[in-house]
Structure 1
Amino acid sequence: MFQGHGDDGYLHQHTLAADFSTNVWHGGAPAGLKEYLFIQWEQVQRYPEVLAESLTEKIAAFYGFKTGNILVTNGSTESIYLIAQALQKKKSTIAVPAFAEYEDACKMFEHTISFINWEELQNGLVPDTELLFICNPNNPTGAVFTDLENIIKAYPEILFVVDEAFIEFTLSVISVIALIERYGNLIVLRSMTKAYAIPGLRLGYIAANASLINSLRSFKLPWAVNAMAIAAGHFIYDHYQEVQLPLQQLLAEKADFIKGLAGTPLTVYPSHTHFFLASTPIHTAASLKQFLLKEFDILIRDASNFRGLSEKHVRIATLNENKNQLLINALAEWKHI
């Protein structure tokens, strides 16, 4: 899906008053990172490390893993396509609604694809499959799966691909990354772009047992992670405690935001993250998106292209109080058109 993701503000010529379409942390990159990257500028004059080896060592050491348990990638999207390629033509199931790249990657590498509704999986229905893709917390719903270890343990014949791109945005579930050495049927995907607000640099990593990482590494292109992304990763792990987002504050702001939206036409659905789904009772998500852009320079995510959602669904991320109020005010006008 080359088009149809959130944060498509670059397609619009005018300056946005507020961008609710992206679920990247609105507070921006960690303090000091920009200056640090400027100092590293000369690194772009030579090739980066072939497999981001130095950052691999740092991430592995952070978790107490061996370097063979980590593969640094050009964002989670590269991770997804590497898995689909290394395990091509497998029988794969995707818990939906979900990020479209799981399906696109599996199609590219000739998987037999099926889908399971998120609620069905939570209720104990486990599909007959070889790979199971689960985003936890889920994008776009913000739902969480709290007992993943139980099903990972109970179904050793299924390879669980758990995408934790938004794990930093919830207090409702903890990462399963510590389980990779215990279970050989677990791959964990982590993103370093969302919580640290550097999506333009493209940086993430895969954690799994050594044999799985070896298989994935054999399909990885050299120099896929650029020098500035590697440098950003070093900065983040060297200052890890200082660069974490203020999650308690963000979730409190989200709660206030949802209270404000209660007086608008939107129906808001429960979420364990700073972003959430909503639906419009009139017209469509596409027309609401265009209305907000044209009249208020506000961008939201038309979520109708997520498998399992309808033409009425939008995804909204929490911004600061002033910008949240802009959307609340704008939606009062939508109510009257």
Structure 2
Amino acid sequence: MTSLSDLPLRDNLVGQEPYGAPQDAVPVSLNVNENTHPIPEHVAIDIVQSLARAVTGVNRYPDREFTELRSSLAGYLGHGLSVEQLWAANGSNEVLQQVLQAFAGPGRSLLSFTPTYSMYPLLASGTDTEWIAVERPAEYALTPEGVAEALREHQPDVAILCGPNNPTGTSLDREVILAAYDAFDGMLVVDEAYHEFDTERESAVSLLPGRHRLLVSRTMSKAFAFAGVRLGYLAADAAVVDALRLVRLPYHLSALTQAAATAAIRHADAMLATVADISAQRDRLADALTALGYVVHPSGANFLLVGGFTDPSATFEALRARGILIRNLSIPGHLRITAGTKAETSAVIEAITALGPGGA
């Protein structure tokens, strides 16, 4: 049977592993930071009706510029954004890939601060972009001085600041974004996939006026409970959106995706009604694990990075055997746990308590 080693892969792809979190049909799945709460029934009905109307026209290509959806996204984000400042694709991963296709590539570089979202280096490899990883401070929180120093030293073509950061949950301060923007001449992406859970901080969208190199990436996969639809989006200067048009595939957003996402945004308040409960369960989980002696890092997202496990791999497998799936990201002594419903959170607390100190 043919293997990858038998194929003439590009040099920078040799030895790479595709992105993949474990998928298992367990009762409690808390490993990929999904919103585990169901979509409200009245919202689901409206979405289905919108899809039914869209299906009658799928013999034609969809709106290539997805103007209605972009208008809805602009209205949702606010801050006086125009339709021309919004872009969307099949998940924020595709948005970020298009950013690298437009502004990075061979001979150019992407920088971010690790540990962070594991797709960033994979997107760099896929676009022949040099990956520059700068280690975060001990407690993971970025400082204006540290970020500015790294950007001045490396002068990347693109830099990504993830806030709240995946997998640590660390919030991103406004001062860090401003210091980063002023420290280099490349494109600065603020990845706000989990922003709706961080109620204490204003979105970086507020910083867009006068900053044409600033891009703010968002997703409907997390707080909106729309992971299966695959809709990511970006706010930036209109010229940036024009640049992304140069690399997007024709008609890249299906008519069904556009219809479903536009309908969901009509019900934004109902779709986001679970955010407060998820945040409460996150805090409840943090308190319980802290009481058990674990190190719980501060989180502004819908998940926790938890340290103090004697053997994270063994704990991961022990929980999996109990029907609970969390995430082992190979950070020594740590595991990441998504905040779910009250019942799911209770199940995790009870299972880790039963395993004993250190998750043994």
Tell me, yes or no, whether TM beats 0.5: yes
**Structure 1 residues 259 and 34: alpha-carbon distance in aligned structure 2, compared to 1, 3 A threshold:** same
- What secondary structure sits across from 1:302 in the alignment? coil
- Cα deviation for residue 168 of structure 1 reads 0.4
Residue 234 of structure 2, aligned match among 201, 206, 228: 206
DSSP-derived class of the 2:263 partner: helix
Name the residue aligned to 1:110.
128
Matches within 5 A, 1:101-180: 101-119=119-137, 121-122=142-143, 124-125=145-146, 126=148, 127=150, 128-129=154-155, 130-146=157-173, 147-155=175-183, 157-180=185-208
For residues 224 and 40 of structure 2, the distance between their equivalents in structure 1, rounded to whole angstroms, comes to: 6
* Equivalent AA in structure 2 for residue 86 of structure 1: A
Separation (CA, whole Å) in 1 of partners of 2:43 and 2:240: 32
Name the counterpart of 1:325: 346
Which has the larger displacement, 26-35 or 160-169? 26-35
CA deviation after TM superposition for structure 1 residue 138, in Å? 0.6
8 Å CA contact retained: 1:144, 1:172: no
Q: Pick closer, same or farther for the CA change 1:149–1:292 going to 2, 3 Å.
A: closer
Matched, 1:43 2:54: yes
Contact 2:144 2:176 in 1 (8 A): no
The AA in structure 1 aligned to 2:325 is L
Distance of aligned partners of 1:155 and 1:123 in 2 relative to their CA distance in 1, 3 Å threshold: closer
User: Shift of the alpha carbon at 1:333?
Assistant: 3.2
CA–CA separation in structure 2 for the residues paired with 1:226 and 1:33 = 20
C-alpha separation in 2, matches of 1:42 and 1:114: 46
Partner of 2:71: 57
1:252 corresponds, among 268, 271, 280, to 280
Q: Larger deviation: 187-196 or 27-36?
A: 27-36
Contact 2:309–2:315 (CA<8 Å) still a contact in 1? no
How far apart, in 1, do the equivalents of 2:99 and 2:336 lie? 27
Q: Is 1:223 aligned to 2:239, yes or no?
A: no
The amino acid across from 2:65 in the alignment is L
Return the offset for 1:118.
Answer: 3.2
Contact 2:205–2:216, Cα closer than 8 Å, also in 1: yes
Q: Which runs of 5+ in 2 are unaligned?
A: 1-16
Which of the residues 73, 82, 99 maps onto 1:66? 82
* C-alpha distance 3-159 of structure 1, shift in aligned 2 (>3 A): closer
SS in 1 for 2:145: coil
Change (3 A) 1:2 1:34: farther
Q: Is the 8 A contact 1:254 1:318 kept in 2?
A: yes
Which of 97, 103, 106 lines up with 1:81 in the alignment? 97
TM-score after normalising by structure 1: 0.88
Q: Distance in 1 between matches of 2:279 and 2:350?
A: 21
What letter is aligned with 2:299?
A: S
Deviation at 1:81, TM superposition (A): 0.8
Structure 1 residues 182 and 113, CA gap change in structure 2 (3 angstroms)? same
Moved over 6 A (4+): none
Contact 1:73 1:203 survives alignment (8 Å): yes
Q: Is the 8 A contact 1:75 1:205 kept in 2?
A: yes
Match runs of 1:215-294 below 5 Å? 215-264=243-292, 266-283=294-311, 285-294=312-321
Return the letter of the residue paired with 1:35. I
Given that residues 37 and 274 in structure 2 are in contact (C-alpha distance below 8 angstroms), is that contact kept between their aligned partners in structure 1?
A: no
The Cα shift of 1:207 comes to 1.2
* Preserved contact between residue 220 and residue 232 of structure 2 (Cα < 8 Å): yes
Alignment pair present for 1:29 and 2:39: yes
State the distance in 1 between where 2:39 and 2:176 align.
Answer: 31
Contact 2:309 2:334 in 1 (8 A): no
Task: For 2:353 and 2:87, locate their aligned partners in 1 and report how far apart those are by CA, in whole Å.
Answer: 47
Q: What residue ranges of structure 1 are gaps of 5+ in the alignment?
A: none
Distance, in Å, in 2 between the alignment partners of 1:159 and 1:121 is 18
Deviation at 1:50, TM superposition (A): 2.1
How big is the shift at 1:77?
0.6
* 1:4 matched residue in structure 2: 20
TM-score normalized with structure 2 length: 0.82
Which of 312, 323, 326 is the equivalent residue of 1:297? 323
Q: How many residues align?
A: 324
Counterpart secondary structure, 1:93:
strand
Which residue of 1 is the match for residue 209 of structure 2? Answer: 181
Check whether the contact 1:164–1:188 (CA below 8 A) recurs between aligned residues.
Answer: yes
Deviates more, 1:148-157 or 1:190-199: 148-157
